[in-house]
Structure 1
């Protein structure tokens, strides 16, 4: 008989989330791709995010020490101004939208987030930041969908927006056959309590 019902690990990343108006602009620009490539595995618009640090599968007990440190980091930062622009693909399978705006500040924030993670004793694959927002994954064997959908975003330039909160996010990836779902474990407002 199992004594616990919660998983012993959680898949975690730290991210920024565009506001609804910015996501809706991009969603409208994607309308032709949604229609042309219905077999792609499209991420839900409410799950769109800009990852600063991907921590991977962590023991549940590794997460609580991150919370006060990330809260303090957010409190000392002003919101970074960003925009969604253009599109591209990784390995002909992953479709993404690019990020514009205060990219230098975004890289500084990501470096500080990653330093906090390391100071909490969490090891992770510290890959260089390539700012993007993942939109969809093509199914194996469909090599046209992501490049063609990305080409359809060439001229897209969305509004600028301030990233107002730092998000600690968990996902259910690998926990069943359905779509990936993300949930905020917690989020904190940037500089001066803006929300």
Structure 2
């Protein structure tokens, strides 16, 4: 199964971002982008790829410890950016140091569980909104996102998500995400 550890935004944050994305989708050329849907919005902390189910019990235990060692922290959706001409994303503000720490802990939990991870890179908080082709100019969308300021929420859990790749062959269909585990941040009471 394809897995990743993530932080899921609050319902209020998703609704605010969805309203902003509606405005972006009205810009010229927006129909050429492959937009992600609100039901799949998340901050990936550690992408694990294909994971053998036999590793799951150890991974769950290690992710639980990582979550319990990390206190809850504030976050809000803020601005946005792009990765070249390929991906448009919303950014974050607030407890970015804590988010990076949680990402490092989730990555370490996966590695210690025996999951082969890609080369470790500095974590960049982003929530993917759309993907484009090599000739797509995403700068107008980034300019619009610069003004976006979401409401603060408290990140309270670490989530393990299964990514089910599309099988229908329908153009534009994206993966479906399924929560397979979640753990509260901070010490359990």
State TM-score, norm by structure 2.
0.88
Matches within 5 A, 1:106-185: 106-125=99-118, 126-138=120-132, 140=133, 142-144=135-137, 146-173=138-165, 175-177=167-169, 178-185=173-180
Segment drifting more, 56-65 vs 108-117 = 56-65
User: C-alpha displacement at 1:69, in angstroms?
Assistant: 1.7
| Mapped partners of 1:24, 1:143: distance in 2 | 26
Aligned pair 1:28/2:4, yes or no? no
List, as ranges, runs of 4+ consecutive aligned residues in structure 1 with deviation greater than 4 Å: none
Q: Does 1:89 align with 2:78?
A: no
Aligned counterparts of 2:134 and 2:63: Cα–Cα separation in 1: 40
Matched-pair contact (CA < 8 Å) for 1:11–1:57 = yes
- SS at the partner of 1:179? coil
2:145 counterpart SS class: coil
Q: CA deviation at 1:96?
A: 0.1
CA distance in 2, matches of 1:122, 1:12: 11
Distance 1:123 1:141, change over 3 A: closer
Cα RMSD (Å) = 1.9
Measured in 2, the distance between the counterparts of 1:182 and 1:25 equals 21
Instruction: Tell me the CA shift for residue 124 of structure 1.
Output: 0.5
Number of corresponding residues: 183
* Matched residue SS, 2:2: strand
- Residue deviations 1:3-53, cap 9 Å, x none? xxxxxxx11110101101011111112222122313321111021111111
Tell me which residue corresponds to 2:48: 55
For residue 18 of structure 1, give the secondary structure of its aligned residue in structure 2: coil
Q: Deviations over 1:58-105 (max 9, x none)?
A: 223233321122123223322121111111111212110111111112
Asked if the contact 1:95/1:147 (under 8 Å) is kept, the reply is no
Map of 1:5 onto structure 2: none
Where in structure 1 are there 5+ consecutive unaligned residues? 1-9
Rate the CA distance shift 1:181–1:147 in 2: closer, same or farther, 3 A. Answer: farther
Listed as ranges, the gaps of 5+ residues in structure 2 are none
